[in-house]
Amino acid sequence: METITHTELAPLDELSAVKALAALAQVQRLRVFRALVVAGPDGLTPGVMAEQLAVAPSALSFHLKELAHSGLVSSEPRGRNLIYRADIGHMNALLAYLTEHCCEGQACGASASVAC
């Protein structure tokens, strides 16, 4: 999986930012997303995630669908399984959107150049 740098990010529009934030505004989805960020480019199967997070497979499926709809998660078939990954580019675009006009142009702790 290719690493996306900040300069390659497509700017996020307001509606996309709201969808992503709404998807993360639920405890289980936030945990799923964080687990996928930790897993990195290798991603995780739903079975592994369900076990790690102690979530019922049906509930996990619902949460993964919401995260995928928001653009924060992607999936690809691998044999009989799906591999889910956090979309780091979309995550970084969301962070860039949130900090775009940080501190009214003054120096601060948030750096737009820092990307995962």
d(Cα 58, Cα 64) in Å, to the nearest integer? 10
List, for residues 61-100, the tens digit of each pLDDT value.
Answer: 999 999 999 999 999 999 999 999 999 999 999 999 998 8
Mean pLDDT score across all residues of the chain = 88
d(Cα 68, Cα 32) in Å, to the nearest integer? 11
- Domain 6-105 fold is Arc Repressor Mutant, subunit A (1.10.10)
pTM value is 0.82
Closest CA to 71 of 9, 5, 27, 113: 9
Handedness of CA 68, 23, 21, 111 (dihedral sign): negative
Q: What is the pLDDT of residue 106?
A: 73
Higher pLDDT, 101 or 74: 74
Looking at the predicted structure, is the pLDDT value of residue 7 above 50? no
Phi, psi of 87 (to 5 degrees): -85, 95
d(Cα 29, Cα 50) in Å, to the nearest integer? 12
Q: What is the pLDDT of residue 4?
A: 39
Host H or E run for residue 76:
strand 73-78
